[in-house]
Structure 1
Amino acid sequence: MPPTSTAEAVRTATMNDVPGVARVLGRAFANDPLPRWLFPDDDTRMARTVRLSAIVAGFGHVPRENAAVVVSPAAASRRSGPPPPGASGAAPSPVVRGAALWKPPEGAPTGAPFLVRSLPHLAALVGPRHIPEVVRYLGELAHSRPEEPHWYLSMLGTDPVARGTGVGSRLLRAGLARADSDGVPVYLETMNSANLGYFERFGFRVVRVLNDARYPSTYCLMRGSAA
């Protein structure tokens, strides 16, 4: 039975959350166009997408407090009655159900330190020969982003078992509220056209489409500040 919408409120992710964040984002995005392009092998794509999410979150966003999560109590903590024989008395850890990775207007969560730490891991994941193509694609994305100050939503994902419980919407609304309080717009990219209607319901509009046969089709969306 999927978790209900009574999961805990949005909070800032900590380094202890990185494995859960990686698991959720890996499960959410493994079959999307970008991971399919990066990791063509069906048998290893899920594991590689989880690892990529761990690199992006753990080296870039989480240490700078630019990641948010929604968690729910672990299943074991909801059991009634005494624990089974031999069970540990330690309280079970909460379960990450959704995560959002953000970049603030005043600076990037990545940069030289991130690249130095992550490049060997990225090369191992996508293969050294694929790195130049990936770098060119990332450069295209960076070139498409607005010059004006804005919040950038790098990744937003919900564990498939929590879909339909409002976790993703709660994460997105929290980020939009913060952007509105700063008086700046929000920008994101999606490579999955099925996501366009979802984001449009929150006021996003497509401002550019990257259609290059070498890369996944990419939709660039912008939402103006409500302040």
Structure 2
Amino acid sequence: MEDMVRVIALAFESDDPIEDYVFPDPAVRRRRTPGMLRVLIRHRYLPAEGAIVATVDDTVVGALLWIPHGYRNPAWREAISGPLLLWAMGPGATRRGIEVDAAIAGSAPAEPHNYMVYLGADPTIPRSGIGRALTQWLIAESDAHGRALCGICKDGNVRYYQAFDFERLAGTRIGSSGPELNFMLHPASRVDAG
């Protein structure tokens, strides 16, 4: 888990509107993001089986976290993770994190879908194909179950996802004053029953 935390924290440390919104102060972001990610990975993504890593020579160089279709965190897990997130993030960031969760829930389509939340690759090895491999894996996983794949991204990543046949369907705002992001959808594969 620590390797996932490291890679995602590094990948989202700068130039990410959601992390900038949740933790406006870069020093606070560097200090608090790892703790937030530990709680989210332990109490949200691992129990949902919504986490995968990419490795090179046994070193984690990429991570993908998503919410599988139909998964709802049990109330007991929410009761545990809520205070842990508050402690890890601080009160203001926790409130803004709740707004991020609400934007994700509010933008989710009615059709069966997987929701990609974090896709991060080690920034010290750019353009290595790690993000592409993880994205293709989740597209194949979604297609195998007849599910759409969706997520939100900044303007600078729209073309990246369009290269995988995602469509930009709408904009979605985080909270009332947060960033406007793009809702991207990769339609469910049409699998023949015969």
TM-score (norm 1): 0.75
- Once the 2 structures are TM-superposed, how far is the Cα of residue 51 of structure 1 from its aligned partner? 2.1
From 151, 155, 171, give the equivalent of 2:114.
151
Q: What secondary structure is seen at the aligned counterpart in 2 of 1:161?
A: coil
Amino acid in structure 2 at the alignment position of 1:116? A
1:163-192: CA deviation from partner (whole Å, max 9, x where unpaired): 2111111111011011111112111112x2
2:166 aligned with 1:204 = yes
Larger gyration radius, structure 1 or structure 2? 1
Higher strand share: 2
User: Considering only aligned residues, what root-mean-square deviation do their CA atoms show, in Å?
Assistant: 1.9
- Residue 116 of structure 1: how far off its partner (Å): 1.7
Give the length in aligned residue pairs.
Answer: 188
Gap change, CA 1:153 and 1:133, over 3 Å in 2: closer
Give 1:62-77 correspondences, 5 Å limit.
62-73=46-57
Contact 2:36 2:89 in 1 (8 A): no
Q: Does 1:101 align with 2:55?
A: no
Unaligned runs of 5+ residues in structure 2 are none
Following superposition, the deviation at residue 63 of structure 1 comes to: 3.4
User: How far did 1:162 drift?
Assistant: 2.6
8 A Cα contact 1:26 1:47, kept in partner: no
Structure 1 spans left out of the alignment, 5+ residues: 1-17, 74-93
Return the match for 1:50 from 26, 34, 37.
34
1:93-142 deviation line (CA, Å, top 9, x unaligned)? x211001112222323x342332222123223443245445424422331
The percent of aligned pairs where both chains have the same amino acid is 27
Partner Cα distance (2:96, 2:33) in 1? 18
Q: CA deviation at 1:202?
A: 0.3
Tell me the distance in 1 between the aligned counterparts of 2:99 and 2:29: 21
Ranges of 4+ aligned residues in structure 1 off by more than 3 Å: 129-134
